[in-house]
Amino acid sequence: LNDIPRDEAYDNTLALLKEGYAFISRRCDKLGTDIFRTRLMLRKVICMRGAEAAHVFYGSGNFTRRSAMPPTTLRLLQDKGSVQLLDDAPHQHRKAMFLSLTLEPGQVGRLRAIFAGHWLQAIPAWQQRRELSLFDAVNRVLTQAVCEWAGVPLDEKPAEEMTRELVAMIENAGGVGPRTWQALILRNRSERFVAKLVERVRKGELALPRDAPLRIMAQHRNVQDNALDTKSAAVEVLNLLRPVVAVGRFIMFAAMALEEHRQWKERFAAGEEDDLESFAEEVRRLYPFFPFVGGRARQEFRWRDYRFRKGDWVLLDLHGTNHDPRRFPEPDRFEPGRGLSWKKLGYDFIPQGGGDPYVTHRCPGEEITVELMKEAVRLLTRSMRYDVPEQNLFLDSSRMPARPERGFRISNIRASEGR
């Protein structure tokens, strides 16, 4: 057995904050390896990248997500009681419930139609504005859509407020300091609001259709056939609301790609459907979102010639794996012809995790993500016209998750006929 190569710095916390998405790959390249040891926040950590590393990280059952993320990131993204912190049979049972919502064609189609409806309704108000941030506008539409889909009544909480709370959870998940504390306060507010809704559904005070996700979550029973405690049920409802709104970031990136590669915009405007999915998938590969995920080894095991010990903390580089030149020649080039699809359930193209989502912690929301992105591209290219003013679209890769500082700005918006 060999020693895992070690980065020479004693602690790399500052380097990680500075280098962001590039941190793991840069060190792997320098050391000529897919794996190295270092310290972050003074704790020992093993960093890995590439399809084979993803395979052992996701495919082996060797890792748990417990104690694998900084506490604020955990609180903002998943929180205690969530599916991500479960393992084995309890995880698979809860996960199957998520997937029964997120992979069911009727549910996905309903969400997509509600989303398009809110988008089309918003266009007249957008037309009144000289200029707007597409990111902000789309996040608002997504919030309205996911709440209506889930059965969360937005007449009881203004849509702006709900949007602000859900967006804050995502924007601040990688941060520390006052902005993050503010986001935690907002998260508490959403949790209380949703917990009350869960209680009302259970008491029969809030009537919802049988297929309403809020109702399904409220009535879900765990693997021992007990109802979830109210807080965990609320956390799981937020686990649908927050990440659907997170798709707004990929929609913004899709709009940026349409602008930069005008031939695609023209093709989609003309009604082309064939390459729409490949286009969306390439956006998910190329643009930065989740940099990496953390896990803890549940037992001792070997990978290649290296030994992992129980309790080892490991970061898998998602972004670096999606930009691995061994798998994706010219990885920084936007090329929808690469034929990517999350449906292959592999370990090489992993913006939302790898393997079989019924078994691993792979995201259950990829179908929804891709379908909403495709619908947004249809809406952007066929149902409206707009100009793109001069602006700074620089993606600061030390800010995780990254985005242009002021969103993607569009102006002179006009409705058009097509769809």
Contacting positions for ligand HEM (CB under 6 A)? 65, 83-84, 95, 98, 102, 239-240, 243-244, 246-247, 250, 289-290, 293, 351-353, 361, 363-365, 368-369
Pairwise CA distance, residues 293 & 362, whole Å: 11
Nearer to ligand HEM, 356 or 387 (CB): 356
| Angle value at C-alpha 353, between 344 and 14, nearest 5 degrees | 145
Query: Token match 């190329």: residue?
Result: 286
Residue-by-residue DSSP string for 322-335: HT-TTTSSSTTS--
CB of 243 to ligand HEM, least distance (A): 3
CB of 295 to ligand HEM, least distance (A): 7
Helix (H, G, I), strand (E, B) or coil at 407: coil
Nearer to ligand HEM, 78 or 413 (CB): 78
Nearer to ligand HEM, 190 or 239 (CB): 239
Nearer to ligand HEM, 175 or 365 (CB): 365
CB of 359 to ligand HEM, least distance (A): 9
Nearer to ligand HEM, 230 or 352 (CB): 352
Structure tokens at 286: 């190329």
Nearer to ligand HEM, 175 or 353 (CB): 353
Residue pair 366/342 in contact (Cβ under 8 Å)? The answer is yes
CB of 86 to ligand HEM, least distance (A): 7
Q: Are strands 131-133 and 63-64 parallel, antiparallel or unpaired?
A: unpaired
Which value, in Å, is the radius of gyration of the alpha carbons in the chain? 21
Structure tokens at 22: 């590039």
Helix (H, G, I), strand (E, B) or coil at 295: strand
Residue pair 206/200 in contact (Cβ under 8 Å)? The answer is yes
**CA 354 and chain centroid, separation:** 13
Query: Token match 């029973």: residue?
Result: 221
Residue pair 370/280 in contact (Cβ under 8 Å)? The answer is yes
Residue pair 118/144 in contact (Cβ under 8 Å)? The answer is yes
CB of 169 to ligand HEM, least distance (A): 12
CB of 146 to ligand HEM, least distance (A): 8
| Pick from 51, 43, 44, 59: nearest CA to 4 | 44
| Angle value at C-alpha 201, between 198 and 202, nearest 5 degrees | 85
CB of 350 to ligand HEM, least distance (A): 8
CB of 288 to ligand HEM, least distance (A): 10
Nearer to ligand HEM, 316 or 413 (CB): 316
Helix (H, G, I), strand (E, B) or coil at 229: coil
Pairwise CA distance, residues 104 & 309, whole Å: 39
Nearer to ligand HEM, 85 or 258 (CB): 85
CB of 9 to ligand HEM, least distance (A): 26
Nearer to ligand HEM, 22 or 150 (CB): 150
